[in-house]
Amino acid sequence: MTSVHERTSLKHETQKDISLYINGEFVASESGATIKNINPFTNEQINEAAEGRAEDIDKAVAAAREAFDNGPWRTMKLKERMAYIYRIADLIDDEVENIAYLESLDTGLPISQTRNMVSRASENFRFYARMVESRLVGDAYQVDDEFINYTINAPVGVAGLITPWNAPFMLETWKVAPALATGNTVVLKPAELSPLSANLLAEVIHKADLPKGVFNVVHGYGETAGDRLVKHPDVQLISFTGETTTGSTIIKNSADTLKSCSMELGGKSPIIVFEDADFDRALDACIWGIFSFNGERCTANSRLFIHENIKEEFVEELKKRVANIKLGNPLDPETEVGPLIDKGHYSKVKGYLDIAKEEGAEVITGDIPAEIAAGNFVAPTLILNAENSMRVAQEEIFGPVMAVMTFKDEEEVIKMANDIDYGLAGYVWTNDIKRGHRVAHQIEAGMLWVNAQNVRDLRTPFGGSKSSGIGREGGHYGFDFYTEQKIVHVSITDHRIQQFGK
C-alpha cells in the first residue's frame, strides 16, 4: 500500500486542470470559464475545472442524441456492448488506488473509506452487465388460442445523470453503469465541489474506447449546467441524487419536457436500540453509521432512539468512543473522520450546534487540534436530551452529528421514528426476532436493516419514501427507469373485427 508521502508525489498529476468530455474529446468550456477546485483539508486550490454552461450541455446532449439515434451503441449485439462494460470495470480496477486518492483529496473522505468505496465501483459495471445479460427479459402472455402478447425492453434515449459530492465516484458509477448497459447514452453532470474522480471516469471510458458521444461529462454549477440538462428537450431521463429541495426544483423544471425522473434525496434516519439488543454490536454500528464518511452520508443514522433502561450506559460508552475518534488528514490511513466538503457546508453544520443549544439540548463535542485547523473540521458531536420536535432532530445536518433521544416502548418509538418528513433508511437493534421484523415493517422508510449496519446488496431496490425520494434504482428495479417497456400484441388467429360502414 502506498504511503501518504508517496501519494503526495502524485500531486502534480491532480494539478492538471480538468476539461469537459464531449463526443469523445476532452474540451474546454465554450466560455472558457473555470471553477476553482479547493482541497477541504488545506482550503488551498487543487486545480481548476472547466465550467460548463447551457451551451456546453447543448453540445453534449447533441453528441449523445446523435450517438443514440445514429450510432452503433443502441443496436449493437448485446455481447459486444457488454464487452465495453466489462472493459470499463477492468480499467477502473487498474486505477483503484489512484481514484481513492483523488476522492480523498477532493472530498476530505478518509482514504481507508474511499479505498473500500472505490473498489466496489467496478462491481457496479460488472453487476449491471450480468443483470442485463440474465435479467433484462420480457414476459409473454397467452390469450387463449388467439393472441400471444409479449413485452420487450428498449433503451429510452439520452440519460441526464446529476450527482452530489458526498460519495462522487460510487454514485456516478451507480448511475452510469445501468444507463449504459441498457443501451442509453449519457450526459453526466457531477457536483461542482468534487470534479476529480468524474474526470477520471471520463479518462477510463475514453480508454475503453466507447463509440463517440455515448458518454459525456459536463462539469459546472447546478443552477446553470444542471438546469439546462433538466430542461433540455432531447433528454428523456433525469436520475438525480442530492438534496430534497433540489430534487423538488428538478421535478418542476423537468415538467415542461415530461421527463422521467428518479430521485434519491436526503435523509434523517432513525436507529432504534431496544434494551435486549446486542449492546456492543449496536454501539459499533451506531458509531459507524453516523461518523463514517464524515457524517456526510444520506443513510446516516442521525437520530438515535435508545431504550430508557439502557440509556445511561449506552450514552456513557458513546461519549468515550466519540471522544476517541481520530480526526486528521484524509490521506492518512489512520484517519477516521476528515474535513467537511467546503466552508459553506462547515458553517451550516456548525450552525446546527448553535441551534441545538438554543433549543435547549446538550451538545457534546470535541476540540480541533491546531495542526489540522486549516481544514473544515467539525468534531464528532452528540446532541443529548434532544426532543423529536427540535430542528436538530428533524432536519438533515449531513455532518458528524447525532441527536440522541430515549423511548419507553415499541409503540412510542415507532411513532417518534415516523414523525418526520424523511423516509430513506432505518436500523433496528433487538434480539427479539418477532419485534425486529415488526418494527422494520412499521418504520416509514425505503430501506431497513435489522441487527446490521448499512450493508448493501446490489440486487435489492435502493431508494427512499416520503421526502427522501421517488422510485427505486438497484438490481432489476433500475430497469423500470432506464428502459422503456413495450408490449407487442400478436394475433395468431383471425379474431373478430367490427365492420363499421360495411
Smallest distance, Å, CB 310 to ligand NAD?
A: 29
Cα–Cα distance for residue pair 377/328, rounded to 1 Å: 9
Pick one of 51, 56, 95, 227: the residue that binds ligand NAD (CB under 6 A): 227
Task: Please answer whether residues 205 and 213 qualify as being in contact, where contact means their C-beta atoms are separated by less than 8 angstroms.
Answer: no
Pick one of 157, 195, 267, 289: the residue that binds ligand NAD (CB under 6 A): 267
3-class SS string, 282-345: HHHHHHHHHHHHHHCCCCCCCEEEEECCCHHHHHHHHHHHHHHCCECCCCCCCCCECCCCCHHH
Smallest distance, Å, CB 249 to ligand NAD?
A: 5
Q: Does 264 bind ligand NAD (CB under 6 A)?
A: yes
Q: Does 163 bind ligand NAD (CB under 6 A)?
A: yes
Smallest distance, Å, CB 426 to ligand NAD?
A: 14
Cell digits of residue 165: 459530492
Q: Does 95 bind ligand NAD (CB under 6 A)?
A: no
Q: Quick one: DSSP state of residue 253?
A: H
Q: Does 153 bind ligand NAD (CB under 6 A)?
A: no
For 259, the 3-state DSSP assignment is coil
Q: Does 246 bind ligand NAD (CB under 6 A)?
A: yes
Smallest distance, Å, CB 64 to ligand NAD?
A: 17
Cα–Cα distance for residue pair 425/464, rounded to 1 Å: 7
For residues 115-144, which are near ligand NAD according to CB under 6 A?
A: none
Locate cell 437493534: which residue? 429
Question: Among 493, 325, 483, which residue's Cα sits nearest to residue 400?
Answer: 325
Pick one of 242, 289, 436, 475: the residue that binds ligand NAD (CB under 6 A): 242
Smallest distance, Å, CB 246 to ligand NAD?
A: 3
Q: One symbol per residue from 175 to 214: x for binding ligand NAD (CB under 6 A), - otherwise; what is it? A: --------------x-xx----------------------
Cα–Cα distance for residue pair 54/227, rounded to 1 Å: 8
Measured from the CB atom, the residue of 410 and 480 that comes closer to ligand NAD is 480
Q: Does 259 bind ligand NAD (CB under 6 A)?
A: no
Measured from the CB atom, the residue of 222 and 330 that comes closer to ligand NAD is 222
Q: Does 266 bind ligand NAD (CB under 6 A)?
A: yes
Task: Please answer whether residues 387 and 393 qualify as being in contact, where contact means their C-beta atoms are separated by less than 8 angstroms.
Answer: yes
Exposure class string for 405-444: b at 16+ Cβ within 10 A, else e: bbbeebeebbebbeebebbbbbbbbbeeeeebeebbebbb
Amino acid at the residue 239: S
Q: Does 222 bind ligand NAD (CB under 6 A)?
A: yes
- The stretch near ligand NAD (CB under 6 A) out of 241-249, 362-370, 378-386, 450-458 is 241-249
Pick one of 73, 125, 127, 165: the residue that binds ligand NAD (CB under 6 A): 165
Cα–Cα distance for residue pair 78/133, rounded to 1 Å: 8
Nearest 5°: phi and psi at 47? -170, -170
Q: Does 164 bind ligand NAD (CB under 6 A)?
A: yes
- Binding residues (CB under 6 A) for ligand NAD: these are 162-166, 189, 191-192, 221-223, 226-227, 230, 241-243, 246, 249-250, 264-267, 298, 396, 398, 424, 464, 468-469
